[in-house]
Amino acid sequence: MEKEMVKNQGFEEFFNEIETSRNAKADELKRQFGFDEVIWVLTNQFYFVRKDEKWGLMTESGEWRVPCEMDAFHICPGQIGWVVPFRKEGKWGFYTLDGLYVGPQFEEFTDEGDDVVSVKLDGKWGWLDSEGRFMTKEEAEERDELPLRWWCQESPYDE
């Protein structure tokens, strides 16, 4: 029992160390870029940043993944997946943490039900393909293509 408590204490210290480091990085990004708010995303060392009521997504090294001109980001229940939805001027777009950027053009999206990214474009519901193009269910069947999923099938970091 005592051994288990020591192990858990080490685990907690490890995460406290990470949090301290991330908070320091967030403070550094605030000072460097003049952000109003910086929120570290637990996965993949990304930061949601806000300046003048607009949001963006930035890497730990200060590289933009989503420009700081969005009205909002949607964080999916639980933890952020591989797909990050964002809204600009009433339209939704997406960024995948492996680098795919799909600009804001969709009227709605849903993260409920299965793990497929479902979107509404010009009044029609469909999916995004792996390159971010809209496709209806019928088009997906014709092309024999799987839709983009909220969660990565394979890690982009696998060699």
Is pTM beyond 0.95? Reply is no
Per-residue model confidence as pLDDT tens digits over 27-65: 898 999 999 999 887 555 788 899 999 999 988 888 998
Per-residue model confidence as pLDDT tens digits over 82-102: 788 899 999 999 988 778 899
CA distance linking residue 21 with residue 157, whole number of Å? 23
Q: Are 70 and 85 in contact (CB under 8 A)?
A: no
Q: Are 103 and 90 in contact (CB under 8 A)?
A: no
Terminal C-alpha separation, the chain: 39
If you write DSSP's letter for every residue of 81-144 in order, what string do you get?
A: -SEEEEEETTEEEEEETTS-EEEEEESEEE-SSSSB-EEEETTEEEEE-TTS-EE-HHHHHHHT
